[in-house]
Amino acid sequence: HGQPQRGCKDLVRSLAPPLNVIMEAEPFDDGFYPSTADQPGRLIRQPANSTLPAGLTVIPHAVSEAVALEAYHFTAGRPQGGPPWGTYLPLIGEDAATGELRVMKRGVETEVEALAERLLCDFWRCSAGELLRADLAHVHGFGVWAVIGGVGLETAYHVDYAEMYRRRTNCIVPPLHAATLQVSPVSPDNVEGGTFAAHSEGLEHYKRHGYKCRRQPPSTDLPTTDWGASAGWTYAPYKFRQGTLSSGELPHACDKVKRWPEGSVPPQLASHEPSLSAAVTLATAIICASRASPPCRTQG
């Protein structure tokens, strides 16, 4: 399928914000200084989410079982050692008659785009639509990609932002919304670690702790110095079909996976892919809604 970064990250991370939004950029220093940009750090804040609750929203049944299993099967069945899949789907809009989300597939990686569309639209239909519908006017499109791993996997504390744009300009542009979908069919009783969490204080918390905790490095194997202590953290231990949804400005992390089940692939998957019967891969789908300028919106 080629490099998914070309379909997803290169596009979503390089979309420039509108000129009038760039003028609103404020000084911001997170302790990271790109070698490719000589400008001082800046930040573009996103519009307030009109219907999305503050902090991290944890959704127990964020997607249907069928689509979650399809996403897991596709993710775990890809060649070992290869890059995870990912793509970017520009928004067309919401169907006025059915309420279904409509996105554009660019035909770059057809299997990846088809799965990403089904995952995104199922998420919209099952849980996200009522929380995000009012913000669609600001959305250019959705980045959808997978994170895979097992014991030892962890995600450093960070804020999502348009990476390529920052490397050129040193300006942080977070997404409008950020979501995760946990699609591995495992029992929570068989998992230790791998807990996703986001902090409700948002960019102020990020400014204090810095890029990958450069300002407050943790002395333990926890993601931050206040993990488990600050009331601002909301935690989502790994659970099949569980989703999280928040403003794209919330810093987040995932603590280290210490225990992960083996040999527990359900019959639905084993019948499709017998080679998966040895272990269940940890798979999480990530969705970010990106804001962009009107000229970018018209490009296919």
pLDDT at 41: 95
Count Cα neighbours of 283 within 13 Å in the Cβ-side half-sphere: 25
Query: Residues with Cβ < 8 Å from 92, sequence gap 6 or more?
Result: 102, 103, 104
Instruction: Write the pLDDT tens digit of every residue in 86-133.
Output: 999 999 999 999 999 999 999 989 999 999 999 999 999 999 999 999
Each residue's pLDDT tens digit, 189-223: 999 999 999 999 999 999 999 999 999 999 999 99
Q: What domains are there in the chain, each with its CATH number?
A: 4-297 (2.60.120.620)
pLDDT over 90 at 231, yes or no: yes
Q: For residues 129 and 116, what is the distance between their CA atoms, to the nearest angstrom?
A: 16
Q: Does the pLDDT at position 24 exceed 80?
A: no
> Looking at per-residue confidence, does 19 or 243 come out higher?
243
In this model, does residue 44 exceed pLDDT 90? yes
Model confidence pLDDT, tens digit, residues 234-285: 999 999 999 999 999 999 999 999 998 875 444 333 333 323 323 455 666 7
pLDDT of residue 36: 93
| Most confident option among 15-29, 77-91, 238-252 | 238-252
Q: How far is CA 177 from CA 43, 55, 147, 207, 264, in A?
A: 16, 11, 18, 19, 33
What pLDDT does residue 46 have?
A: 87
Cβ burial of 76 (10 Å; 0-12, 13-18, 19+) is buried
CA 185 to chain centre: 19
Mean pLDDT, rounded, of the chain: 84
Average pLDDT over residues 83-87: 87
**70 pLDDT more than 70:** yes
Helix (H) or strand (E) holding 286: strand 282-290
What local confidence, expressed as pLDDT, does residue 172 receive? 95
Highest-scoring range by mean pLDDT, 1-10, 70-79, 270-279: 70-79
Q: Which two tokens stand for residue 152?
A: 């030892």
132 with 125: CB under 8 angstroms? Answer: no
C-alpha dihedral sign at 225, 232, 172, 102: positive
> What pLDDT, on a 0 to 100 scale, did the predictor assign at position 112?
95
Helix (H) or strand (E) holding 130: helix 129-132
Task: Give the HSE-up count for residue 8: Cα atoms under 13 Å, Cβ half-sphere.
Answer: 23
**Count of alpha carbons within 13 angstroms of residue 213, beta-carbon side:** 17
- Residue from 113, 100, 88, 121 nearest 15 by CA: 88
pTM as predicted: 0.84
- pLDDT of residue 12 exceeding 60: no
For β-strands 42-43 and 26-27, DSSP reports them as: antiparallel
